[in-house]
Structure 1
Amino acid sequence: MPQDADRAVSADRGDSGGWGVGGVDPRGGATDGVGSGRGDPAYGRPAPVGGAEDVPTSGGPENPPEPSDRGGAGTRRVEGDWWAVAPGVEADLAQESPAAGPGSTQPDPTPEPPEPPGRGRTADHDQDGPTQDREGADPDPAPAPQAPRTATRVDIPTLPPAPVGFVGSGPPTYDAEPTALPPADPDELDDLVADTVLDGARYGACTLRAVSVRGDSARFRGEPRRDSLLTARFGTGEQALILVAMATGARATPGAHRAAAEACHWIGRAVGRSHARLAQDISAARRGDLKSGLHRLTDRSLGKLRASAVEQGTDPEEYAATLRCLLLPADPDCRIRVFFGVGAGGLFRLRDGEWHDIEPRITDATGEPVVGFGSLPTETPEGDRLTINLGIPTPPSPYEPAPEPPREPFRFRASVARPGDTLLMCTGGLADPLRGEPELCEYLTERWSGSPPGLAAFLADSQVRVKGYADDRTAAAVWEA
């Protein structure tokens, strides 16, 4: 009878109405006053609220009472339960729970399996109970394969080429890395010159990169670097003026590196003392004033270099150097770039993917002298010349000083930069291979078109070697934003 089954379950609870020993759930849970598994979520039914009186009971045989797994005669010990192996608990449970006989009316302790979800249920919501995952559902159909898409220039980014060690017909004769150090004097350690000098800055709308590297020939022979580099900023704010000066000492002469460093020192001092006036002339585009003023400063600096040679007892022709300078205003609204100097080298501009040689040309006077108005004719009507040149050189006069050898002409150029331009000023060590090896121009075009490189990348690009060119290299490049 169902009533007898309810009495048997109530007797197993004890006088206190709790579970197990002393009315405490052996598994650690609080008692809820319900003697069946209807309130256990494992059976798929929600727990009743308000105790045993709120639980609906049925007296028919269609709804027999469900077994309990919380103690009593119908308790099943499951492998892995902590209370099943706790000392003392198993003995107490065995003492309070009598064994079920053959005629016992205790229901089958085996729980009923949960009902499978109906057809009207979904995997996310169950209408009759808690949420359950739908099993056996058809998987989503695989998407139809698409035809491969051909990549375009928009999909493939344009990257600069990988750095290379050399270009041209073959590798150069000398090693790529330094071999021997220059000799040193313990009493003149300030006279030592580093193998490589690297510098950079960004002011206004331009980014500057500058480098000076000892040539392969000097590295192999242990000679000092004859090129010298100076980068300096005079003034503050938008009125500041950036100077980049580079000089090259005479070849195969002692102290050539000192002459180059001294030339940069003198021109730097002269420009620094006049930087305010020079910045104003550049902003106002006074080309004539700039050319005449910078010409005087250059002659004065090279004159001091010749005077220093006389003081040292050295021939001024040997203690000489070429000088090339670049002035960059810090004002972002001013895009005038001024170049000036004396001696060989190169000035190039990379615009729209092409290199342009914008070095100021010094042309020699050609043609016959122009005869002035009213001068005597050079020959008679019969064709006889009035003078005869016997080709005898005129001896120098002992009362006049010997004429000085012709000096290098002064070079000047003021140009307006455009966004995307790259201006390159360099000594002959880099200008000669740029003019003589087209592959070097193509390589630098791909490397320097676009955003300015970092210092390390600029150093690597400046050291790309070409067979037959082993002199020192000094270069300063300006990228316009």
Structure 2
Amino acid sequence: MKQQGTGRGHEDDWWRRLYGDGGGAGGGAAGDTGASDAPDTLDDRVASALRALAATGRAAPAPGDAPERPERPERPERPERPERPERPERPDPATGKPPGRTAPPPPPAFPTPPAPIPLQATGPGSRPATPRRPVPPPRGAPADPPPSAPPPDGPEPGPLPAADPAALDELVPDTALDGARYGSLTLRAASRRGDLARHRGDIRRDALLTVRFGSGRHALLLVAVATGPPAGAGAARAARDACAWIGGAVGRSCTRLAEDLRTDQRDALRSGLQRLTDRSYGTLRARAEERGLPPERYPAALRCLLLPADPECRTRVFFGVGPGGLLRLRDGAWQDLEPTAPDHLPRRAAPADPGEPPPAAAGRRTDGTRAPGEPFLFRTAFARPGDMLLLCSAGLAEPLRQDPAFAARLAAEWSLPRPPGLTDFLTAAQLRVEGHPKDRTAVAVWES
């Protein structure tokens, strides 16, 4: 008890020194160590504290007035707490499931994939489904043999001709196209494989050669059309050899031939061209013997046109051997200029121009220079503005002579004021005619 009183006395002494009357920093008067006579109550202590604050310069309330407690600010209302979810009921240890509930079905062994989302086209129209490509036949399957007649559904090329790695120069393209313009004449030339050869994969037997010898007004144009024999090996080679040999012979004599043309030396032209043709055929027969081919089967039909580049010379010379066609389109009608024109030609024969000799054919030769029964053909023609001269192989000459509708259609195509372009000329020259599947070669000269 003594310790508690001692502690209480020290506490009272601290309060008297801090808040006692008349005291300064030490609390009471000097030498006063006794207890204060003031009652030690809570209100007395608050009043002492207020008096101490007044001594430091702060406003203090009047004595005896109790200070008002400051009002506490109202606390904001707390948001209501969400109700706690009810705790799941503990499963029954006996059954392993909550009471009053059924167990969910077990998950499947493999989850079911979600249903695909249907895709929709976003353009103005939906695209049709792409058809599947046909499955190619297995390798080694036997191919169907080519039929003997071409299909009637268009002149589309069939298989490529078989090639020999050691003789690739024997190959011939399906189609050849050429053209030129000199002075008053416009030249168009085309040669294409026939429907039957395309369907069988055979090589084109028609050959075409267009060359120029010399220059300027002395230039001479040569166009040669040759057709190989219908059967036997080497038909295409025979046609190309015929064009090459006659081209070489004319080229070596071009100066003399051009002069004979300008001076209208028709007899000299006939004899000179017949001699060149005989030499060429003799060379072809010798070449056939070197290759082990029958000489009588090797020669090919050969038909040529000589055209001077001089615009003042309008003489056109035709010469050759074998079947084919030479026609002129004048005033929208066909005229046959063939020296040995057949009697069944359905069009009117060509009247002779002033100074133009009638068509003539040389006598048959049996000396081996040409095949027996094949005469040398020669004719000159005078070109008028607006005329069109047509030189062609038998593959085009036969439908022109036998099918009036086809002849009329070609006449309409080629009677326009201006000559056609290369592609338009080829399109017209390859118009299909039923029953005429041979190779076709056409050379047309428009005069202006």
Is 2:378 the counterpart of 1:412? yes
Q: Select 2:419's aligned residue among 448, 452, 460.
A: 452
Alpha-carbon offset, residue 320 of structure 1:
1.7
Is 2:289 the counterpart of 1:310? yes
Alpha-carbon offset, residue 362 of structure 1:
7.4
Is 2:180 the counterpart of 1:214? no
Runs (4+) of structure 1 exceeding 6 A deviation are none
Q: What residue is the counterpart of 2:275 in the other structure?
A: 296
Find the aligned partners of 1:222 and 1:363 in 2 and give their Cα distance.
33
Is 2:396 the counterpart of 1:430? yes
Task: Work out whether residues 172 and 466 of structure 1, in 8 Å CA contact, stay in contact via their aligned partners in 2.
Answer: no
Alpha-carbon offset, residue 185 of structure 1:
0.8
Alpha-carbon offset, residue 188 of structure 1:
1.1
Alpha-carbon offset, residue 472 of structure 1:
0.2
**Equivalent pairs, count:** 275
Distance 1:427 1:340, change over 3 A: same
SS in 2 for 1:441: helix
SS in 1 for 2:398: helix
SS in 2 for 1:231: strand
Q: String of CA shifts for 1:334-379, please: whole Å, max 9, x gaps.
A: 1100000000000000001110011002799xxxxxxxxxxxxxxx
Is 2:156 the counterpart of 1:177? yes
Amino acid at match of 1:472: D
Distance 1:405 1:343, change over 3 A: closer
Amino acid at match of 1:418: R
Q: What residue is the counterpart of 1:102 in the other structure?
A: none
Alpha-carbon offset, residue 172 of structure 1:
6.9
Distance 1:405 1:188, change over 3 A: closer
Amino acid at match of 1:176: P
Find the aligned partners of 2:237 and 2:314 in 1 and give their Cα distance.
34
Q: Select 1:323's aligned residue among 302, 311, 316.
A: 302
Amino acid at match of 1:274: S
Q: String of CA shifts for 1:41-84, please: whole Å, max 9, x gaps.
A: xxxxxxxxxxxxxxxxxxxxxxxxxxxxxxxxxxxxxxxxxxxx
Distance 1:247 1:406, change over 3 A: same
Q: Select 1:202's aligned residue among 165, 173, 181.
A: 181
Task: Work out whether residues 200 and 455 of structure 1, in 8 Å CA contact, stay in contact via their aligned partners in 2.
Answer: yes
Find the aligned partners of 1:405 and 1:186 in 2 and give their Cα distance.
33
Task: Work out whether residues 174 and 216 of structure 1, in 8 Å CA contact, stay in contact via their aligned partners in 2.
Answer: no
Alpha-carbon offset, residue 436 of structure 1:
0.6
Is 2:224 the counterpart of 1:245? yes
Is 2:438 the counterpart of 1:471? yes
What are the ranges of 5 or more consecutive residues in structure 1 without an aligned counterpart? 1-170, 365-400
Amino acid at match of 1:409: P
Q: What residue is the counterpart of 1:260 in the other structure?
A: 239
Give the 5 Å matches for 1:147-162. Answer: none
Find the aligned partners of 1:328 and 1:212 in 2 and give their Cα distance.
19
Q: What residue is the counterpart of 1:17 in the other structure?
A: none
Find the aligned partners of 2:179 and 2:151 in 1 and give their Cα distance.
29
Report the TM-score, using the length of structure 1 for normalisation: 0.55
- What fraction of aligned residue pairs are identical, expressed as a percent? 61
Amino acid at match of 1:415: A
Amino acid at match of 1:251: P
Distance 1:308 1:466, change over 3 A: same
Distance 1:174 1:257, change over 3 A: farther
What are the ranges of 5 or more consecutive residues in structure 2 without an aligned counterpart? 1-149, 344-366
Task: Work out whether residues 172 and 465 of structure 1, in 8 Å CA contact, stay in contact via their aligned partners in 2.
Answer: no
Find the aligned partners of 1:406 and 1:298 in 2 and give their Cα distance.
15
Find the aligned partners of 1:174 and 1:292 in 2 and give their Cα distance.
48
Find the aligned partners of 2:337 and 2:330 in 1 and give their Cα distance.
12
Find the aligned partners of 1:405 and 1:298 in 2 and give their Cα distance.
12
Q: What residue is the counterpart of 1:230 in the other structure?
A: 209
SS in 2 for 1:238: helix
Task: Work out whether residues 350 and 445 of structure 1, in 8 Å CA contact, stay in contact via their aligned partners in 2.
Answer: yes
Alpha-carbon offset, residue 173 of structure 1:
2.8
Distance 1:241 1:405, change over 3 A: closer
Name the stretch that deviates more: 353-362 or 420-429: 353-362
Alpha-carbon offset, residue 174 of structure 1:
5.9
Alpha-carbon offset, residue 407 of structure 1:
3.9
